[in-house]
Chains A and B, each alone.
Chain A
């Protein structure tokens, strides 16, 4: 088993060295920062699917929440917003939301007045509708006022690392709500429910222009480390400054990943991990042994969401732009699943390996496909059949196909992944 680990990680290391020789150091460092962020997200999914057997197709939503969180915390303060009447309007909106919440809670308790059965259902529906109307009546003018006077509410201007942490907290909170409502469902229903909730989140974040600037996008989002320009001012040349700046970013990300890996691997090996595996493999038996199945599953779902939120926050702050319309299910949900399936569900090192390896394949399949198409096009031209048109834009699409092919092949020939889950049994 150990030889397999060493072999795969050594091969990965050689691959990274090869990439840096081909594509240059600055590119490779950038690639590694993103690959480690994706590995963190894959580890989050590993907690949910590998440890707990919970199907989450809503990863995209968690990444967006994390990205929004770091934008909100670390972007400079928008004084136009705070100096206008907008905070007052916001207060009124919050009050309306609170009134709506009280109405809903009261409606759910209406059976105390002797209203039960169908009538209670009707009262609850009417209460939700009334609460929605009250909220919308305050929210709509507020949103219009903010977008017309100050654009959006801006950030808080706090440190970036705090933003990452807040990304984890916020994603965990969202994960708690998602898990609370949907964890009772069977695997395939859970998949559809989570993807539905993620799409709702995506639509909301994309369209709340007053809060997230929506399609207008927010940039530049600050870095936790000096920028390349700072290194250039200190005398480094252009390439070197990018390597240094991205390198220091990489160190922080690797540190975060290392801490997360250490913590979750300790948890996995400990009694907590054994309990989670028991729940995953047979939740009825685990329940009869006195384990709180639903509570534990919720716990796993929240833990996984926290890692996903942090990963999403890292990605957004590294790229420096929060663009809600750039989030796509293929790039931000299915890709993570490919990483975990190929790496090995249930194995933390498998998730780490899969995350980094698949991200490199994902990024490199575009230039490789371009090279392939160029040579094919040259060949077909020499045969007199004419060149392939629009090679550049077609080559980018190749990676989606490659990912699909990889995951179907992996499911068929290595269903437990390259680094399968290995459970140590004490004799």
Chain B
């Protein structure tokens, strides 16, 4: 049993946490692709930017002297999401909208998003330096140890507070997005525009508003993902730049433009990464008396240095075998 708990702590919780981050990022990427038809490379840096916005706001909040049972970084998330959404709108207005107005090809927008990536990275490093920061420098990071009431189990289930908050807020965000896309007029308009922009326009959908709403949702979710990731690990300028490719992998896995696919793809990748580097010999150890071979010290599918590579391999294989994604994604 202890081994199973270890497996749960290491692989299951890790997979859910990573999957939630990927899912939140991938939803933004996939919505932008569905509406604006280009691969928005700066999405990872939008996440980092959101993390830093939360960090600044958390500093302001902490200096106000209020003490709440939740981490300050989490309390300020709604405000930070609004700020990041506004920044996302500004970035669109300044850098992407003029190119779209000229009728530039999606590839040009992709290159422009690389330029935006570099600008955000440069600015963040300019103002915050290259070092690592923590949201928990002034307050402790709560860790919950849940002891199971089963005979012979000594190992507790370990979950940290940010991880619980991350999973909870991902669930809330996903459900809210689902209701927005299926029930509200604007959400239906978004889906229509993803399916056929021209038809959406002639049937009276305000496409400019849809584009703005897309950026608001993408920016808000990016901020949520970036902040939660920074709460879970730590805040650094290349926080999300390193995971922008797994996020794209998740979006492609679910079929670009397909919001539910992106969520599923995010969790598939999250679990694939954690399971691939999990040391399976731990699970075999209880059976060491009945097994005919000696259990090696470490038995992982890939060495842990290659953890991120798992996502890229899955990405490349999906692109080659089934570029439309596992759910045959056309659009949301």
Do A and B pair up? The answer is yes
Which residues of A are at the interface with B, using a C-beta cutoff of 8 A? 55, 181-182, 185, 187-189, 191-193, 195-197, 199-200, 203-204, 206-207, 330, 334, 337-338, 341, 390, 393-394, 397-408, 411-412, 415
Can you name 14 A-B residue pairings with CB atoms under 8 Å?
Answer: A196-B312, A197-B312, A200-B312, A204-B306, A393-B130, A399-B122, A400-B119, A400-B125, A401-B118, A401-B126, A403-B115, A404-B114, A411-B104, A415-B108
Query: B249 within 8 Å of A by Cβ?
Result: yes
Establish whether residues B117 and A334, one from each chain, have CB atoms under 8 Å apart when the complex forms.
yes
Residue of A nearest to B249 (CB): A196
A319 CB to nearest B CB, Å: 21
Sample of 8 more A-B contacts, CB < 8 Å, known A394-B126, A404-B121: A182-B319, A182-B320, A192-B315, A330-B121, A390-B129, A401-B123, A401-B126, A407-B111
Establish whether residues B115 and A404, one from each chain, have CB atoms under 8 Å apart when the complex forms.
yes
Establish whether residues A404 and B245, one from each chain, have CB atoms under 8 Å apart when the complex forms.
no
B39 CB to nearest A CB, Å: 4
Residue of B nearest to A389 (CB): B129
Query: B75 within 8 Å of A by Cβ?
Result: no
| Whole-angstrom CA separation of A200 from B246 in the bound complex | 12
Known: A334-B117, A405-B115, A408-B95. A185 touches B126 (CB 8 A): no
Establish whether residues B122 and A401, one from each chain, have CB atoms under 8 Å apart when the complex forms.
yes
Chain B contacts with A in 135-179, Cβ cutoff 8 A: none
Inter-chain contacts of A55 with B (CB < 8 A): 107, 110
Chain B contacts with A in 315-329, Cβ cutoff 8 A: 315-316, 319-320, 323
Inter-chain contacts of B186 with A (CB < 8 A): none
B294 CB to nearest A CB, Å: 14
B93 CB to nearest A CB, Å: 13
Known: A196-B316, A407-B114. A203 touches B309 (CB 8 A): yes
B252 CB to nearest A CB, Å: 7
Inter-chain contacts of A407 with B (CB < 8 A): 111-112, 114-115, 118
Inter-chain contacts of B38 with A (CB < 8 A): 188
Query: B308 within 8 Å of A by Cβ?
Result: yes
Q: Give which listed residue, A185, A203, A394, A412, contacts B98 with CB less than 8 A.
A: A412
Inter-chain contacts of B295 with A (CB < 8 A): none
Inter-chain contacts of B108 with A (CB < 8 A): 411, 415
| Whole-angstrom CA separation of A401 from B120 in the bound complex | 7
Query: B116 within 8 Å of A by Cβ?
Result: yes
Establish whether residues A192 and B245, one from each chain, have CB atoms under 8 Å apart when the complex forms.
yes
Which residues of B are at the interface with A, using a C-beta cutoff of 8 A? 38-39, 95, 98-99, 102, 104, 106-108, 110-112, 114-123, 125-126, 129-130, 245, 248-249, 252, 303, 305-306, 308-309, 312-313, 315-316, 319-320, 323
Inter-chain contacts of A193 with B (CB < 8 A): 315-316, 319
Q: Give which listed residue, B106, B114, B316, contacts A334 with CB less than 8 A.
A: B114
Known: A337-B111, A397-B125. A203 touches B305 (CB 8 A): yes
Known: A181-B320, A199-B308, A334-B117. A397 touches B130 (CB 8 A): yes
Establish whether residues A188 and B110, one from each chain, have CB atoms under 8 Å apart when the complex forms.
yes
Inter-chain contacts of B312 with A (CB < 8 A): 196-197, 199-200
Establish whether residues B129 and A393, one from each chain, have CB atoms under 8 Å apart when the complex forms.
yes
Establish whether residues B316 and A197, one from each chain, have CB atoms under 8 Å apart when the complex forms.
yes
A106 CB to nearest B CB, Å: 20
Establish whether residues B248 and A203, one from each chain, have CB atoms under 8 Å apart when the complex forms.
no
| Whole-angstrom CA separation of A411 from B313 in the bound complex | 32
* Number of A-B contacts defined by CB within 8 Å: 131
Residue of A nearest to B119 (CB): A404
Known: A187-B106, A188-B106, A401-B119. A200 touches B112 (CB 8 A): no
| Whole-angstrom CA separation of A2 from B170 in the bound complex | 59
Inter-chain contacts of B309 with A (CB < 8 A): 199-200, 203-204
Known: A203-B308, A411-B99. A192 touches B112 (CB 8 A): no
Establish whether residues B119 and A408, one from each chain, have CB atoms under 8 Å apart when the complex forms.
yes
A324 CB to nearest B CB, Å: 12
Known: A188-B106, A192-B252, A334-B114. A200 touches B316 (CB 8 A): yes
Inter-chain contacts of B99 with A (CB < 8 A): 411-412
| Whole-angstrom CA separation of A56 from B249 in the bound complex | 17
Inter-chain contacts of B129 with A (CB < 8 A): 390, 393-394
| Whole-angstrom CA separation of A415 from B103 in the bound complex | 12
| Whole-angstrom CA separation of A404 from B120 in the bound complex | 8
| Whole-angstrom CA separation of A411 from B105 in the bound complex | 11
Establish whether residues B118 and A181, one from each chain, have CB atoms under 8 Å apart when the complex forms.
no
A420 CB to nearest B CB, Å: 15
Inter-chain contacts of B115 with A (CB < 8 A): 338, 403-408, 411
| Whole-angstrom CA separation of A407 from B106 in the bound complex | 16
A202 CB to nearest B CB, Å: 9
| Whole-angstrom CA separation of A199 from B241 in the bound complex | 13
Inter-chain contacts of A408 with B (CB < 8 A): 95, 112, 115-116, 119
Q: Give which listed residue, A181, A195, A390, A394, contacts B245 with CB less than 8 A.
A: A195
Establish whether residues A415 and B104, one from each chain, have CB atoms under 8 Å apart when the complex forms.
yes
| Whole-angstrom CA separation of A245 from B149 in the bound complex | 74
B94 CB to nearest A CB, Å: 8
Residue of A nearest to B314 (CB): A196
| Whole-angstrom CA separation of A185 from B252 in the bound complex | 13
Establish whether residues B125 and A196, one from each chain, have CB atoms under 8 Å apart when the complex forms.
no
Q: Give which listed residue, B249, B303, B316, contacts A182 with CB less than 8 A.
A: B316
B203 CB to nearest A CB, Å: 27
Q: Give which listed residue, A181, A338, A390, A402, contacts B316 with CB less than 8 A.
A: A181
| Whole-angstrom CA separation of A191 from B303 in the bound complex | 27
Q: Give which listed residue, B102, B110, B319, contacts A185 with CB less than 8 A.
A: B319
Establish whether residues B320 and A189, one from each chain, have CB atoms under 8 Å apart when the complex forms.
no
Inter-chain contacts of B252 with A (CB < 8 A): 189, 192
Residue of B nearest to A203 (CB): B309
Establish whether residues B39 and A192, one from each chain, have CB atoms under 8 Å apart when the complex forms.
yes
Residue of B nearest to A181 (CB): B320
Inter-chain contacts of A199 with B (CB < 8 A): 245, 308-309, 312
Inter-chain contacts of B117 with A (CB < 8 A): 334, 404
Residue of B nearest to A330 (CB): B118
| Whole-angstrom CA separation of A376 from B74 in the bound complex | 36
Inter-chain contacts of B104 with A (CB < 8 A): 411, 415
Q: Which one of A188, A207, A406, A415 has the greatest number of beta carbons of chain B within 10 Å?
A: A188
| Whole-angstrom CA separation of A330 from B115 in the bound complex | 10
Residue of B nearest to A49 (CB): B107
Establish whether residues A394 and B125, one from each chain, have CB atoms under 8 Å apart when the complex forms.
yes
A369 CB to nearest B CB, Å: 9
